[in-house]
Amino acid sequence: MTTLSTADSHEHEHHDHKPKGLMRWILTTNHKDIGSLYLMFSFLMFLIGGAMAMVIRAELYQPGLQIVEPNFFNQMTTVHGLIMVFGAVMPAFTGLANWLIPMMIGAPDMALPRMNNWSFWILPMAFSILLSSLFMEGGGPNFGWTFYAPLSTTYSPDSTALFVFAIHIMGISSILGAINVVVTIINMRAPGMTYMKMPLFVWTWLITAFLLIAVMPVLAATVTMVLTDKYFGTSFFAAAGGGDPVLFQHIFWFFGHPEVYIMILPSFGIVSAIIPAFSRKKLFGYSSMVYATASIALLSFVVWAHHMFTTGMPVAAELFFMYCTMLISVPTGVKVFNWVATMWRGSLTFETPMLFAIAFIVLFTIGGFSGLMLAITPADFQYHDTYFVVAHFHYVLVTGAIFSIMAASYYWLPKWTGHMYDERLGKIHFWASVISVNVLFFPMHFLGLAGMPRRVPDYALQFADFNQLVSIGGFAFGLSQLIFLVVVIKCARGGEKAPAKPWEGAEGLEWDMPSPAPYHSHTTPPEIK
């Protein structure tokens, strides 16, 4: 090790030394390279999962079966969900964490760079396995991304083992990524960077990483039980052998509910960086943001059964889970209040990141409200398994998580590439997205309230008009994302030179570094004010 290090320090005289070509990316242990890999991979998955959504919306454009077989339709809804959750949103956040956390806390790199390389490179393997199962005889997973037993055990296609292994590998990847984030944040902060001085993106990721460490192993246990139930004759979820299918739902949602916060907490951190920057004010209520995030994370462990109100739980349990769920809107409300209070009397400008951040606040709040409606147990008996649920989780995941990722990309692109992105194209992308996404998801609320069930390839005639509108919104939203691709490619290739701090009101150590950020971050610890 010692000799290697000496040789290395010599090489680092040329600051940006790195291997060239493909091997640079395969062997890289650099947090920025790995962050870029994560982000590119996530966008690729976003396009693949999006293409599947287009198949779904094309089939639902009219009542009746037009384009695909029902079984293939089910595979599309399942794999769309799996890819968007595990392939698009989670890797995008991990990519942002890789890029930003070392820069934000004044560290030279992530704490465990080699593990970092692995946690990324096993992801493409996992998704190749998952996607290849679609081409096998009997088809890929068709039981919904929640893979409820017995759909995933007794009635699942032969390729289910591949689904299980793909989930295992994705889980290992997220766990390794989370460990890296925790170790980096706890051990690698520059002198003087106390916990309560950390940017909120770092805070929210620290909490997210602990959630990942706590619940991804439970997911691994769940899929292992599905595997042994299907192939090795165990009866965890089979009533015939003394098991219980409802148990599956308990274990799955014990993972599943913290998982949905894993997909939104880093968004809170992103928005808490962008809103103050373009309001030219300090974030209102920093410490209350930290405590609110922590309480959301803790509450996420005691609300899982609100996904299961219709399984016949006793009234006492339904009330408990209903009240706990509603309690979550208190810390979330604190956050929304703080963002709005930050903007209050600020000198606002509306560059693309700010537009996405404001859209996030408004539309995520709509998703939060429909979540509150779903939390009301008696009302949930009507909404359960309808398009109302689909509308709810797409508002929190697309206009919530994905809009925040878009906002983050625009906000930090100048730092990553050293060039300003095309503001005009960015604005076009924003307006095309924000209009189409509402045409896409808002009518789903009405479809759900009118009783259209989710995960169906065909539907009753009275739903035809709204479905057509939804599909048109869907196609428009899908196409709008190609504008984003153009913006990023243009920005990576050239454009107006970005200053170290392109946003007047931006705060944080990353803006003290030149743009593009040097290959190695803070080689000497920065001074913390």
Partner 1 sequence: MSNNTQSSKAGLGGSESADTGLAKKNKRLIVRLFSIIAVMFCFGFALVPLYDVFCQVTGINGRNVVKSDAPSVLIDRTRTVRIQFTTSVAPGMPWQFKPMTKSIDVHPGENKVVKFSALNPTSSKVVGQAIPSVAPGLASLYLNKTECFCFNQQALDGGEQVEMGLVFFISTDIPKHIKTMTLSYTLFNVSESVAPAEIAAL
> Which conformational region is residue 132 in: left (phi greater than 0), alpha (psi within -120 to 50 degrees), or beta?
alpha
Select from 40, 67, 213, 372 the one that contacts partner 1 (CB under 8 A): 213
Closest CA relative to residue 332, chosen from 282, 357, 297, 283 = 297
Kindly name the residue from 272, 352, 399, 521 that is annotated as catalytic: 272
> Which conformational region is residue 478 in: left (phi greater than 0), alpha (psi within -120 to 50 degrees), or beta?
alpha
* Stretch of 175-183, 343-351, 376-384, 435-443 contacting partner 1, by CB under 8 A: 175-183
Q: Which is nearer to partner 1, 12 or 497 (CB)?
A: 12
Give yes or no for residue 302 binding partner 1 (CB under 8 A).
no
Give yes or no for residue 74 binding partner 1 (CB under 8 A).
no
Whether 507 sits among the annotated catalytic residues: the reply is no
Select from 19, 241, 333, 518 the one that contacts partner 1 (CB under 8 A): 241
Per-residue interface string for the shown chain with partner 1, residues 255-284, x marking contact by CB under 8 A: x-----------------------------
Neighbouring residues of 422: CB distance < 8 A, sequence distance ≥ 6 = 487, 490, 491, 495
Kindly name the residue from 307, 392, 415, 522 that is annotated as catalytic: 307
Q: Which is nearer to partner 1, 317 or 460 (CB)?
A: 317
Q: At 281, which amino acid appears?
A: K
Tokens of 234: 């165990």
Give yes or no for residue 407 binding partner 1 (CB under 8 A).
no
Neighbouring residues of 8: CB distance < 8 A, sequence distance ≥ 6 = none
Whether 80 sits among the annotated catalytic residues: the reply is yes
Alpha helices in 188-244 (DSSP H): 200-231
* Stretch of 26-34, 55-63, 293-301, 357-365 contacting partner 1, by CB under 8 A: 26-34
SS3 category, 382: helix
Give yes or no for residue 194 binding partner 1 (CB under 8 A).
no
Tokens of 123: 């992801």
End-to-end CA distance of the chain: 35
SS3 category, 36: helix
Whether 158 sits among the annotated catalytic residues: the reply is no
Give yes or no for residue 317 binding partner 1 (CB under 8 A).
yes
Q: Are 447 and 467 in contact (CB under 8 A)?
A: yes
What are the DSSP E strand ranges found in 55-202? Answer: none
Give one DSSP letter per residue of 170-193, joined into a string: HHHHHHHHHHHHHHHHHH-PPTT-
Q: Are 246 and 73 in contact (CB under 8 A)?
A: no
Kindly name the residue from 454, 455, 490, 520 that is annotated as catalytic: 454
Least separation in angstroms between CB 239 and partner 1: 5
What does the alpha-carbon distance between residue 180 and residue 116 come to, in Å, rounded to a whole number?
7
Neighbouring residues of 283: CB distance < 8 A, sequence distance ≥ 6 = 200, 272, 275, 276, 289, 338, 342
Whether 429 sits among the annotated catalytic residues: the reply is no
Kindly name the residue from 94, 156, 159, 173 that is annotated as catalytic: 173
Give yes or no for residue 516 binding partner 1 (CB under 8 A).
no
Whether 145 sits among the annotated catalytic residues: the reply is yes
Neighbouring residues of 256: CB distance < 8 A, sequence distance ≥ 6 = 146, 304, 307
Whether 306 sits among the annotated catalytic residues: the reply is yes
Give yes or no for residue 153 binding partner 1 (CB under 8 A).
no
Q: Are 426 and 487 in contact (CB under 8 A)?
A: yes
Whether 454 sits among the annotated catalytic residues: the reply is yes
Least separation in angstroms between CB 252 and partner 1: 10
Kindly name the residue from 32, 57, 281, 335 that is annotated as catalytic: 335
Select from 144, 451, 495, 525 the one that contacts partner 1 (CB under 8 A): 525
Tokens of 271: 């928005």
Give yes or no for residue 240 binding partner 1 (CB under 8 A).
yes
* Stretch of 6-14, 63-71, 92-100, 197-205 contacting partner 1, by CB under 8 A: 6-14
Give yes or no for residue 183 binding partner 1 (CB under 8 A).
yes
* Stretch of 236-244, 275-283, 324-332, 464-472 contacting partner 1, by CB under 8 A: 236-244
Select from 111, 292, 303, 509 the one that contacts partner 1 (CB under 8 A): 111
Least separation in angstroms between CB 176 and partner 1: 10
Q: How many residues does the chain have?
A: 529
What does the alpha-carbon distance between residue 193 and residue 510 come to, in Å, rounded to a whole number?
14
Active site residues: 80, 109, 145, 173-174, 257, 259, 261, 272, 306-307, 332, 335, 454
Binding residues for partner 1, rule: CB under 8 A, are 1-2, 4-6, 8-9, 12, 29-31, 108-109, 111-114, 154, 175, 179, 182-183, 186-188, 190-191, 213-222, 225, 233, 236, 239-242, 244, 246-247, 250-251, 254-255, 312-314, 317, 520, 523-525
